[in-house]
Chain A
Amino acid sequence: TQLLEQSPQFLSIQEGENLTVYCNSSSVFSSLQWYRQEPGEGPVLLVTVVTGGEVKKLKRLTFQFGDARKDSSLHITAAQPGDTGLYLCAGIYNFNKFYFGSGTKLNVKP
């Protein structure tokens, strides 16, 4: 059983389009993170959200943490080929263990 479900699993879009990926759980986490992983590399942290309802922006990326701290979304505006990768959400439980979601594989075509 996966603690964190991500959707969609795969997404292929044209450069310039907007997209949103989702991370949902039935569990409450102390914080939630988003990572991006490129082929042949380990995941790299993009953002950490801690407070329910929190919104963080990182250039063209907007991250939102649900009010109940069980879900999160990542919105990318005007996607670029450099955004291509595997996006993983991670729930932090008791400040110790990282539970990773199932991942969304994004492909942005030029």
Chain B
Amino acid sequence: EADIYQTPRYLVIGTGKKITLECSQTMGHDKMYWYQQDPGMELHLIHYSYGVNSTEKGDLSSESTVSRIRTEHFPLTLESARPSHTSQYLCASSDSGGSTEAFFGQGTRLTVV
């Protein structure tokens, strides 16, 4: 069972609000990722990190930002939410060792009204 947690599971907020989506993992994984997914559709990588103080933008342009101050924590922040940000956000982590399995959290379903 994966030990990666996302909060909140669901979030409905008004346009212009600042939000932070939390992601924590207890597996000691170096690599962490944020994906954006519309329901039942493909996953788009928006941010990734190979370790503490390492963050890179993914292939899908996103107005969100991330930080990696601790190994286990990889929060994603939207400074000013807009309806176009409505989506599901999935956090994942993987080991730097031999296993390349990505372990996913349950996701945060964000709705901006």
Say yes or no for A19: interface residue by CB 8 A criterion.
no
Q: Is the interface of A mostly helix, strand, loop or mixed?
A: strand
CA distance A39 to B107 in the complex (A): 11
Given contacts A2-B42, A42-B106, A103-B40, contact A48 B101 (CB under 8 A): yes
B33 touches A98 (CB 8 A): yes
* Most A CB within 10 A of own CB, among B39, B40, B100, B105: B100
Distance (whole angstroms) from the CB of A61 to the closest CB of chain B: 17
Say yes or no for A31: interface residue by CB 8 A criterion.
yes
Distance (whole angstroms) from the CB of A56 to the closest CB of chain B: 14
B92 touches A103 (CB 8 A): no
B105 touches A100 (CB 8 A): no
CA distance A92 to B33 in the complex (A): 14
A31 touches B42 (CB 8 A): no
CA distance A87 to B60 in the complex (A): 21
Counting chain A residues whose Cβ lies within 8 A of the other chain, the interface size class is 20 to 34
B42 touches A45 (CB 8 A): no
**Using Cβ atoms and an 8 Å threshold, which residues of chain B touch A40?**
106-107
B42 touches A41 (CB 8 A): no
CA distance A98 to B107 in the complex (A): 17
Distance (whole angstroms) from the CB of B66 to the closest CB of chain A: 15
**Using Cβ atoms and an 8 Å threshold, which residues of chain B touch A103?**
40-42
Instruction: Name the CB-closest residue of B to A92.
Output: B100
Interface residues of B (CB under 8 A from A): 2, 31, 33, 35, 39-43, 45, 48, 50, 59, 90, 92, 94, 100-102, 104-107
Could you list some 7 contacts between A and B, CB below 8 A?
Answer: A33-B101, A42-B92, A48-B100, A99-B59, A100-B43, A102-B41, A102-B42
